[in-house]
Structure 1
């Protein structure tokens, strides 16, 4: 946990007495894990084909072995014609594991950290405190889930036209082969830009929390009052679009580092070569399918999470 003065991140109470770290465990709730996992799995099952399109555009750096697409619909149509529904859901297994685990762990850690920060205080958390809590939750989540995202990227970027064919048979096969040939560093490719990516989740959660609080204040109801599904959807969409527009380039850098068809000497090398060969536009490749995918995915996830968590925690009222 990060430390700061009273009203900062809250490792002291409003009276100034230190809070024991053990009090953090009072705020750990498995219900948040289950609710977040449910939201991540549902949204991934519905929208995985758009994720596949986004990643294929993000790594489109001109290599001959890559299929060329004229747009989102052309990409989806080409994959459908060549590989059918199975092709559109290539890499879905690690995506479900990754999205389910990531959203579950994120909500799990975030709510525990937020509860710990607020303990002993009468005041609401500030925007900065929401930002810090979400960033800490993001770092913990990424550390646990990065190997899953590497396997997802590798599976999504298997092309029939590749000289080596499809080298991975599935998620477990990919995990084993990556570990065998590249070791632990192979499973943590893209981790550094992923750390920068925690700012995406932090900005999103900060915006979401502030929108909910201000909206409930406007309605003159408690800040944690239950909202309608449409209200959750609106706030989730606005917060997600804000976060995507702010942080998208890191996703391109991360996908290119994880791609098995190209070799880079680190984050700086990816940035330098992308800028030299493709300009600023290169850092925003795939952003349209990404926005179209992540916005409804985020809305589904948050609506499922809010309703499942309230049901499990017995807070429906």
Structure 2
């Protein structure tokens, strides 16, 4: 992949990040509040995601749902640019000249892992603008991104390939190619976002607790924190905020994937 082609990949990723923040930031705000307040005490502050959202709207209005959005626009756009751009570059590197369109785990997993590890250095400080501290929870963020992005891109590549493979066999499909591509992007992107968070939610809960802990000397080991949460709140505590997170994951990631794919087409990026 040449320099010009690589630059286009980063631009496409930047556009995807903007789409993701616009679509998903309110859900993320609710998730953080649920994780921060419903796992550290025996008494729940919020009954559920709807109760949390209504409290925010009553106390702060619509602006409360977009609290920290300015930093998220910057952070998510840069993250997404690095995320998608690095993944595409690493995928091209590991794939080499063997391009037949069929997803390969030996290409997807190292590419996604490298991309996730790299963006964790961006995500940790930008996410902490909404909570507190700098680089607290860095290990948990690294784990979440490396593991989660491997699941994300694996789910995306295989579901996208499968849907294209079966839809291309339908007679007359070319008449609605644009709509079909958008539909595939929505389903593959939304499904992959759900797979990401389902896989790494306990790590994300640990990250939020580490970053919001009032005691600066409290444990920063994500495994210890997950164990503590499990003993105190059970499996439900380990998946605190899962509802709004999954509600956000589908539309936000669907928007990101569709934007990424179509920006790539507008920039004439060559893909299999």
TM-score by length of 1: 0.74
Task: State the alpha-carbon separation in 1 of the partners of residues 103 and 41 from structure 2.
Answer: 48
Cα distance in 1 for residues equivalent to 2:57 and 2:99: 55
Where do residues 147-158 of structure 1 align in structure 2 (5 Å cutoff)? 147-154=125-132
Aligned pairs for 1:117-136 within 5 A: 117-123=94-100, 124-136=102-114
More helix, by proportion:
2
> Does residue 82 of structure 1 match 2:59?
yes
Residue 270 of structure 1: CA displacement? 1.4
- Which of 273, 277, 301 aligns to 2:228? It is 273
SS in 2 for 1:69: coil
Normalising by the residue count of structure 2, what TM-score does the alignment of the two structures yield? 0.85
Q: How much has 1:194 moved relative to structure 2?
A: 1.5
**Which is greater in Rg?**
1
Q: Which has the higher contact order (CA 8 A, sep 6+)?
A: 2
Distance 2:47 2:32 in 1: 15
Is structure 2 residue 155 aligned with structure 1 residue 207?
yes
CA distance in 2, matches of 1:272, 1:260: 16
The reply on whether 1:237 has 2:215 as its aligned counterpart is: no
Corresponding residue for 1:181? Answer: none
Q: Structure 1 unaligned segments of length 5 or more: list them.
A: 1-23, 155-177, 179-186
- Report the number of matched residues: 258
| TM-aligned CA distance change 1:269 to 1:121, over 3 Å | closer
CA distance in 2, matches of 1:188, 1:25: 34
Q: Which of 256-265 and 79-88 deviates more?
A: 256-265
Q: Determine which of 138, 142, 147 is the counterpart of 1:191.
A: 138
Q: Could you tell me which residue of structure 2 aligns to residue 5 of structure 1? A: none
C-alpha RMSD over aligned residues: 2.6
User: Closer, same or farther in 2 for the Cα pair 1:153/1:294, shift >3 Å?
Assistant: farther
Matched, 1:137 2:137: no
The aligned counterpart of 2:48 is 71
Alpha carbons 2:136, 2:210 under 8 Å: kept = yes
Other structure's SS at 2:219 match: coil
SS in 1 for 2:129: helix
Asked if 1 retains the 8 angstrom alpha-carbon contact of 2:75 and 2:122, the reply is no
For 1:297 and 1:50, how far apart are their aligned partners in 2? 9
Is structure 2 residue 255 aligned with structure 1 residue 311? no
Report the alpha carbon displacement of residue 190 of structure 1 after superposing the two structures with TM: 1.4
SS, match of residue 247 in structure 1 = helix
Give 3-state SS (helix, strand or coil) of 1:152's partner. Answer: coil
* Cα distance in structure 2, aligned partners of 1:28 and 1:314: 6
Find the residue that maps to 1:266 and give its secondary structure. Answer: coil
The answer to which of 278-287 and 256-265 deviates more is 256-265
Structure 1 residues 209 and 40, CA gap change in structure 2 (3 angstroms): same
Could you tell me whether the CA contact under 8 Å between 2:6 and 2:89 is conserved in 1? Answer: yes
* Alpha-carbon distance in structure 1 between the residues aligned to 2:99 and 2:79: 31
Structure 2 distance, partners of 1:96, 1:122, is: 34
Structure 2: stretches of 5+ with no match in the other structure: 170-176
After the TM superposition, which of the residue ranges 143-152 and 187-196 deviates more from structure 2?
Answer: 143-152
The corresponding residue for 1:255 is 208
- Residue by residue over 1:168-221, the C-alpha shift from the partner in whole angstroms, topping out at 9 and shown as x without a partner, is xxxxxxxxxx4xxxxxxxx21111112221211111101111122233333458
Measured at CA, do residues 76 and 280 of structure 1 come closer, stay the same or move farther in structure 2, by a change above 3 Å?
Answer: same
The reply on whether 1:109 has 2:56 as its aligned counterpart is no
